Amino acid sequence: PYCINNSGTIAGSWTDSGGISHGFARAPDGTITSFDPTGSTGTGAEAINASGDIAGLYYDSKRDGHGFVREPDGTFVIFDPKQSIFTDAAAIDDSGTVAGFYHGKTETQHGFVRAPDGTITTFDAPNAAYGTYAVAIDKDGTTTGFYIDAKGSVLGFTRNADGTIAAFHAPKAPNGTTPAAIQNRGAITGSVQSKSFKYRGFLRIP
């Protein structure tokens, strides 16, 4: 299990005896439905919204990764930013807007937001040198995640729906600030690393 919506529907992944992963949805009455996009050699369900739309990624026979949204009726929408060979649809809001990250042949990760009409906007956090990872999105389209700068430092960021990006670093976290989730009021939580490389949680209030 990886995520749950307000109605109690759970989504996640399971692995069969051959080592192949598949997605699943568990309804509030306990009914479990397994699923895979056509041609999948490994499926991961990562996020679910109030309508039951599930976002995630799957691998094809070449082991390239693709983003997907599975609608409640079982219909799949498959997508990739241009030139992507790995797309991770990490988050979905109630409007159907998806946020995540991808990389091309250089393997440097970039963030993206996919609107409900299919329009994909890609972005990089300012000063990102070794990757931008969008991992969560709220009801207003504010995305959060982390990026790695030229010094190898990991910093958090927020990206508003208008494209404005702001970086942040939790106090006493010289070795990294890694957001994991954002609530609809804008509060962000995640983990940080101290000087001794110990992990601690953080809560960032808007």
Query: What integer pLDDT is reported at residue 172 of this predicted model?
Result: 80
pLDDT at 193 over 90: no
pLDDT tens-digit readout, 67-108 = 999 999 999 999 999 999 999 999 999 999 999 999 999 989
pLDDT tens-digit readout, 18-45 = 999 999 999 999 999 999 999 999 999 9
Query: What integer pLDDT is reported at residue 112 of this predicted model?
Result: 98
Percent of the chain with pLDDT over 70: 100
Count of alpha carbons within 13 angstroms of residue 128, beta-carbon side: 23
Query: What integer pLDDT is reported at residue 3 of this predicted model?
Result: 97
pLDDT at 195 over 90: no
Dihedral (C-alpha) 196, 201, 205, 206: value to the nearest 10 degrees?
80
pLDDT at 50 over 90: yes
Q: Which residue has the higher pLDDT, 193 or 125?
A: 125
Query: What integer pLDDT is reported at residue 29 of this predicted model?
Result: 97
With CA atoms as reference, report the closest residue to 6 among 75, 71, 73, 94: 94
pLDDT at 134 over 90: yes
* pLDDT tier, 64 (very low <50, low <70, confident <90, very high otherwise): very high
